[in-house]
Structure 1
Amino acid sequence: MKITFLLHNAYGIGGTIRSTFNVAGALAVHHSVEIVSLIRTIDTPNLPLPRGVRLTPLIDKRPDAAAGSNDLGNPLLTRPSAHVPAAEAKGTTNFNALTDQRVAAHLARTDADVVIATRPGLVVYLAVFGREGRYLRIGQEHRIYSTHGAEIRAACNAAIPHLDAYTSVSEADAATHRAHLPGVTTRLTALPNGVPATGIEPSDGRAKLVVAAGRLIPVKRYDLLVGAWATVAAKHPDWHLRIYGRGPQQTTLRRQIDELGLAGHITLMGAHSPIETEWAKGAIAAVTSREESFGMTIVEAMHCGVPVVATDCPHGPGEIITDGRDGLLVPVGDADRIAKGLLTLIEDDELRRSMGEAARVAAQRYAPERVAAAYETLIAELHSARGTVAPAARRGAGGSVRSRTPGTPLTTLKGAVKQLIRKPLRPVASCRVTAHGNLAVLVEPAGVHGADLALTLTRRRGDGAPIRLPLHPPTVTSSDLWTATVDRGAVDLTEGRWDLHVVRPADGARRRVLSRYAEGRGLLGLEPLPGSPFSWWIPYPTVDGYLALRAWRRPAHAEARVIRADADGLAVEGTLHGALFGPDAAPIAEATPTRGPGRPFLTGVTALGSGRFRFTVPYERIHEARTGGAGAAVWTLTLRKSAGSGTPIRIGRILGDIVDRDKTDLHPVTHGIRPRLTGGGDLTITCSAPTG
């Protein structure tokens, strides 16, 4: 049968989009599946479109689309919808007269057997424009009955009786719908979101890291998590909290973190997709929401072997987590109980490990294949209730059959084509950091064809020749992936950013590698190779979806493991790599002006043994080194093993798994002074101009 999902914007990265893509991909194994996106805002979706699924946009809102090919000038975009309530339409931003027109036309002509609407405005459209008897009409509720405003709630309640089925993502919310809609003949049932397991390496529970992820909005109550972390950090300062996501509360959370003195303990990481690689880095996941209709992040973390400490809010967490077995449930809105739950797992390694294993097993309940099967059962039951037979499975949305010249043997044509055309390279790969710090590049077989293929690393905007490595084909005893290894003890990468390509010598084909996952879990706790030069590599996905490496290579490096604003000055503690302090060393830190009105100055450094060091830069000395004038003064910090000797060693923060520390490792202004990291990870000090 043909199944169509209606999404508002399939080109974003929200939970509804992820769930729809997951289930659509599972259904596409046996059926023809189409995702219809009401609007299109960029060229390609942020999330990978599942194999076998067609994506059809109805309205093109790409500002950079070719002239005349988008709908931005259409006057209907500025006219209100005649059907969707204003609270859902957001004026005319989400729904308008043009969306009315395009959806009505699509629902009138579609050849789908089932149409599934995924948000209130689309549910209204399906009720108004859907053709009764031509296809099944199913609405989805991705929030909770009580969380919609009165206007949206009334519109949904009016639309539901005109559908064949309406699904909630939790049984508790389905029961709420049934209680509020007595006598409605529409099937009201629960079908969870589909969340797939990935092939990434799961967490081993050893990293001293707690991870949270989601939109930075009030309902997520990250303020409670930050407040709870003050208690955790006081008892376990070596543990760290990362919060992934973006949203309107980012500035408020940044201020709260700074006011609590937690800048060195909590990192706001920004948005990250795919998020699974980041769950796998953590030992514990935290969800502190006031409400969760389902909790996709909970299942994602559990798939990665990470136990979740979650508030027992309506409705999802309590249906997903078995308290005390595969995670912990704590009261809603209670920062002290959140802290206690986190500390319970932080302080019990065995409990954390066993819960992580149980979480991976429990998460299998939400595999997209199981959710797809539940949809198939629901569709069959709806047809049975109608007294009709469900359409047979059919695949191939958008498929075509190529013609051939009559009388020409097909085998002859195939041979000629094979001689003239080689299959193109479309490599997609994951990069995994191994326990030894090497990079395992795992290339999916569907996009690579030929013999003697190679993987090359090319320095972006560099002069040198690419580094070439053999790409090994799958074997009977190995996985079905092509593999290459970048050995950090044998491969010398100069500092910079490196792009990966697959090369086919037979015809000179060369294609850049798309990123599936960049798995950096192995970088947590990893140390650089001893000796000089110092080097460090971090794999990452580029903004346009390709796999790349950030490499550092220096004769020596001073890693600033602690950057802290003390009462009297800026304290730095770290470790020297690629060089040694002598037994009578008298190291110094040099502050060299790089911008604005400042002069150089020195600070004594204490060598602590085993390459460790610490120093404090007094605030007074920094202000004295400011020479007046307009603008902020900026100094770069370097280390010398003794005054006036040797090449200065840059001080910064490079080790670990974060590529762009200048975007994540942020510190507040104290006494007019702010420590900053550059794009290359080097430590600088900024002194603001005096006010007054």
Structure 2
Amino acid sequence: MKITFLLHNAYAIGGTVRSTLNLAGALAARHEVEIVSVLRTAEQPLLGVHGDVRLVPLVDERPDSAAYDGGHELMARPSALVPPTEVLAHRYTALTDARLRAFLDTTDADVLVATRPALVVVLAEHGPRHAIRIGQEHLSYDNHVPGVRAAQNEAIARLDAFVTVSARDAADHRRRLPGLRTRITDIANAAPRPRAEPSDLRAPLVVAAGRLVPVKRYDLLVEAFAKVVAERPEWRLRIHGQGPERANLLAAVAAHGLGDHVFLMGPHTTLETEWAKASVAVVSSAWESFGMTILEAMHAGVPVVATDCPHGPGEIITDGSDGLLVPPGDPDALATGLLRLINDPGLRHVLGTAGRATVQQYEPATIADRYERLVTELLGARRPGLVAGMGRWLGLAVPGQVRRTGRATPGRWTRWVAPGRAARRAGTAPATETERRPSRPSADCRVDARRDVQVSVDWSDTSGQDLVLVLRHRHGDDELRVPLEREAPHVPLKQETPRLAAHAALAALKPKAADGTRSQSVREAPDAIGDRWTVLLSRTRPPLAEGRWDLYAERAADGVRHRLRAGLVEQRSLLTSEFTGAGPVAWWIPYTTKDGYLALRTFRREAHAEVTALPVGEGSSAVEGVLHGAELGAGAALMGVARSGEAADFEAPVEATGRHLPDGHPSRGHLFHGRLPSLPGPTAPGKVIWDLFLRPASDAEPVRLGRLFGDIVDRKDTDKYPEVTLPTTSGGSVRARYFFTVTNDLAVSVSRPE
């Protein structure tokens, strides 16, 4: 069977994209699967696509691409197919109309699945009648604007089936659309088992993830977390995602004084590694069509506190058994639920373990099987005369049908293989561009409990050869070469994929193909997964200079070198490991670059002042931290060094504090507190920037203040502080704001009030 998914943009990050890619990958184990992406906005899909799934973009929006469609005359004309009130209607044009219609006019797909209202409308109107046509609802009935709701309702009546992701929403659709012949049912989203290790529930960290939009009620979450911090100040909240509410949320964080506790992390392509860092997950939404983040957190063994909102959380979580449900719209209830788990490590482990059992029912193979059974039932509902001629839709030959081999198979259901795929298997089809392209190396990376970095390289073109890992300093000529050691091949267990359940004959028989061989309803797993090469990089052997290091794999025999694509990068241990303060300060953070490569951020300093908190308010500004590699003494001071000669440098006294850092904090050293009672005023219009240092004693060299420890490579993107009014030494006032530089060091910018 050939199954095609119509997706708005497979190259973006989002719940619909993630769930579609999961389902397509699972179905590709038994069928020919393709994803048609209306738009292409990146070189590669950010979330990755299963290797057996074909990806077909229709309109290229990349300005630097040879296939760029931005200058096409039809791009300037609005779409005539998409409802104008559709949220993304502005992204659809006469060109997307033309490309969609051309595709639908020529496709040989047996099943077409549309994943958003605009595409449901197009599929209903222009999809080929020979195909099974299915619409999906990734929101819910009451969460579309009226024009879109009316257009989609009309389209649903012309489809074979319409699938929601929750039972309650399917019931809503059936109640609102009585008398339709269209099959309306619910099938949950698929949640694949992550490759990352599950959480150890040790870090004092709460994690939420989703688009920054009003319905997620992250404003309510920030308010609730202020109540959490009042009781447990060592805990932090990270919110992963992007969206229009970012500025409002930053303002809410500032208003509650939570700059040291709540962090907006931006989008992340591999959330499985971020769930593995959490000890509690939270969903604060006013409504959820399903709850993919709940499943992802459960897979990581992280207990979830979720609002019992329509429609998804209550269908996934059993309150008190595998998670906690709280009333929506109530910050006190949300804070109480969070504190219940924060204050009870035993309950965290119990609910986290139960969640890992619950999530198994959402395995991709199980969800794919439900879609297969739906298609089987839809096929059976077609006119009886058509059924005998449509067996190939299920990858089957019906009883008595003559297969392409010319031999009859009376009384048997057998697997149908597309001619193109059969030719590729036989080696008679020309190689595709992807098949001709040499493989490129990729690498997984993991930080262990000692903060050493293990790199595991996969390069399929190098069987039997020796490899070298090359680390090259991005802004210098420094280069380090480390031999890679070959791992033993991994032999996976062969797991049987569920068969189509709708036909009793298929369940009862292990059919033979026309040539007498057994038909394969699942792809056989390879006998072994190819060679991998590993190395453990110790922070002390070899010592690396501070900076950013790009990683390459090189064949020792001929010197061919390729930069490593990033696979799974696991940094969890960086949140709970301690820096002892012995020797030079060294901290390594492996990470994925914006263009998808593996890199290593290294910090190495003889002494360092780690900033732990920046208490700020109108008329008040302070710095708290831990000094490593030096001793606090008489004359200790904060120092501001102006970047230009337009302002004077300044000093402010620092005192040691006996206050202890919370358990689990990755710093051990001399705690200090410094307050900035006033600042020099700018002598010219515009902003003045001072870089901040700690002078440990009157006769000591200044030490840079910064935030190096932990797992965050670029603090300037995540650690945000509000602008406040401070007095000047001359009697006026200025507006001042702390910020972290590109090297994660602390600075303060100052401007005159307007």
Q: What is the TM-score when the length of structure 2 is the normalising length?
A: 0.84
Task: Show the counterpart of 2:412.
Answer: none
1:233-312 aligned within 5 A: 233-312=229-308
Structure 1 residue aligned with 2:118: 121
Query: For residue 674 of structure 1, what is the aligned residue in structure 2?
Result: 737
Question: Contact 1:472–1:484 (CA<8 Å) still a contact in 2?
Answer: no
The alpha-carbon distance between structure 1 residues 125 and 567, as it changes in their structure 2 partners (threshold 3 A), is: closer
Superimposed CA distance per residue, residues 23-45 of structure 1 (whole angstroms, 9 cap, x where no aligned partner):
11111111111101112222222
Q: Secondary structure at the match of 1:575?
A: strand
Alpha-carbon distance between aligned partners in 2 of 1:260 and 1:404, rounded to the nearest angstrom: 65
Q: 1:423 to 1:87 in 2, by over 3 A?
A: closer
Separation (CA, whole Å) in 2 of partners of 1:516 and 1:589: 42
Q: Quick check: 1:455–1:502 contact (8 Å CA) kept in 2?
A: yes
Structure 1 contact 36–55 (Cα < 8 Å) conserved: yes
Partner of 1:594: 643
**Which residue does the alignment assign to 2:522?**
none
| Alpha-carbon distance between aligned partners in 2 of 1:571 and 1:487, rounded to the nearest angstrom | 36
- Which residue is 2:750 aligned to? 687
Give 1:493's aligned residue: 544
Q: Which amino acid aligns with 2:640?
A: A
Q: What is the CA distance between 1:529 and its match in structure 2?
A: 5.2
**Maintained 8 Å contact 1:425/1:449:** no
Distance 1:377 1:238, change over 3 A: same
Change beyond 3 A, Cα 1:562–1:384: same
Residue type of the alignment partner of 1:200: A
Deviates more, 1:469-478 or 1:524-533: 469-478
Residue 412 of structure 1 corresponds to none
Distance change (3 Å), C-alpha of 1:112 and 1:425: closer
Contact 1:89 1:95 survives alignment (8 Å): no
Q: 2: distance between equivalents of 1:690 and 1:679?
A: 26
Q: Is the 8 A contact 1:580 1:611 kept in 2?
A: no
- 8 A Cα contact 2:655 2:674, kept in partner: no
Distance change >3 Å, CA 102–CA 690, structure 1 → 2: closer
What's 1:557 paired with?
608
1:381 and 2:444 matched: no
CA distance in 2, matches of 1:117, 1:463: 51
Map 1:486-635; keep pairs closer than 5 Å.
Answer: 486-528=537-579, 530-565=581-616, 569-581=620-632, 585-595=634-644, 597-608=646-657, 611-620=669-678, 622=679, 625-626=680-681, 628-635=683-690
Say whether residues 1:640 and 2:682 are aligned partners: no
Matches within 5 A, 1:68-79: 69-79=67-77
Question: In structure 1, how many angstroms separate the alpha carbons of the residues matched to 2:736 and 2:419?
Answer: 62
Instruction: Report the 3-state secondary structure (helix = DSSP H, G, I; strand = E; otherwise coil) of the residue aligned with 1:384.
Output: helix
1:503 counterpart letter in structure 2: E
Render the CA deviation track for 1:322-370: whole Å, top value 9, x for unaligned. Answer: 1111111111111111111101101111001111111122122212121
Unaligned segments of structure 1, at least 5 residues: 406-420
- Deviation readout 1:209-232 (Å, 9 max, x if unpaired): 101111111111111001111111
* Aligned residue type for 2:689: V
Q: Distance in 1 between matches of 2:580 and 2:535?
A: 21
Over residues 75-122 of structure 1, what are the superposed CA-to-partner deviations in whole Å (9 max), with x where a residue is unaligned? 33333433332112755x233333232222211211111111111111
Deviation at 1:490, TM superposition (A): 1.9
Map of 1:220 onto structure 2 = 216
What's 1:664 paired with?
718
In structure 2, distance between residues paired with 1:457 and 1:341 = 46
Is the CA contact 2:473–2:549 (under 8 Å) kept in the aligned structure 1?
yes
Counterpart amino acid of 2:378?
L
- 2:173 is aligned, of 151, 166, 177, to 177
Does 2:470 align with 1:461? no
SS at match of 1:535: strand
Indicate the SS of the match to 2:51.
coil
- How far, CA to CA, are the matches of 2:232 and 2:374 in structure 1? 49
User: What are the residue-to-residue correspondences of 1:32-111 with 2, within 5 Å?
Assistant: 32-66=32-66, 69-88=67-86, 93-111=90-108
Alpha-carbon distance in structure 2 between the residues aligned to 1:19 and 1:596:
55
> Aligned equivalents of 2:627 and 2:697: distance in 1?
14
Aligned equivalent of 1:654: 708
Distance 1:71 1:89 in 2: 22
1:87 is paired with a residue whose SS is coil
* TM-superposed deviation, 1:649: 1.2
Q: Equivalents in 1 of 2:320, 2:587: separation in Å?
A: 40
How much does 1:396 deviate?
9.1
Partner of 1:152: 148
Counterpart code for 1:183? G
Q: Are the structure 2 counterparts of residues 140 and 690 from structure 1 closer, same or farther at C-alpha, using a change threshold of 3 Å?
A: closer
Q: Which residue of 2 aligns with 1:413?
A: none
Secondary structure of 1:369's counterpart equals: helix
Q: Distance in 1 between matches of 2:317 and 2:420?
A: 37
Aligned to 1:417: none
Question: What is the identity, as a one-letter code, of the residue corresponding to 1:299?
Answer: L
Q: Are the structure 2 counterparts of residues 495 and 177 from structure 1 closer, same or farther at C-alpha, using a change threshold of 3 Å?
A: same
Structure 1 segment 389-538 matched on structure 2, within 5 A? 389=391, 390-392=394-396, 393-394=416-417, 401=424, 424-444=438-458, 446=460, 449-474=463-488, 481-528=532-579, 530-538=581-589
Contact 1:440–1:486, Cα closer than 8 Å, also in 2: yes
Q: Deviations over 1:490-525 (max 9, x none)?
A: 221111111111111122221111112221111002
Distance 2:575 2:228 in 1: 20
CA drift at 1:641: 2.8
Give the Cα separation in 1 of the matches to 2:645 and 2:269: 38
Shift of 1:452: 1.9
CA distance in 1, matches of 2:694, 2:597: 36
For 1:633 and 1:114, locate their aligned partners in 2 and report how far apart those are by CA, in whole Å: 62
With over 3 angstroms needed to count, the CA separation of the structure-2 counterparts of 1:336 and 1:396, relative to structure 1, is: farther
1:569·1:616 contact (CA, 8 Å) conserved in 2?
no
Q: CA deviation at 1:673?
A: 2.0
Distance 1:563 1:613, change over 3 A: same
**Counterpart residue number, 2:134:** 138
Q: Using the alignment, how far apart are the partners of 1:678 and 1:353 within structure 2?
A: 38
Distance 1:357 1:655 in 2: 30
Q: Distance in 1 between matches of 2:418 and 2:548?
A: 42
Q: Verify: 1:362 aligned to 2:413, yes or no.
A: no
Q: How far has the Cα of 1:477 moved from its partner?
A: 9.7
1:291: how far off? 0.9
Aligned residue-pair number: 666
In the alignment, the residues of structure 1 paired with residue 147 and residue 131 of structure 2 have an alpha-carbon distance, to the nearest angstrom, of: 28
Identical aligned residues as a percent? 49
Alpha-carbon distance in 1 for matches of 2:618, 2:78 = 57
What pairs with 1:19-34 in structure 2 (closer than 5 Å)? 19-34=19-34
TM norm structure 1: 0.91
Cα displacement (A) at 1:447 = 6.6
CA distance in 1, matches of 2:533, 2:135: 42
- Tell me the distance in 2 between the aligned counterparts of 1:422 and 1:7: 27
**Tell me, what secondary structure is at the counterpart of 1:21?**
helix
Instruction: Give the aligned residue type for 2:54.
Output: R
Aligned-partner Cα distance in 2 for 1:89–1:676: 35
One-letter identity of the residue aligned with 2:192 = P
Change (3 A) 1:607 1:77: same
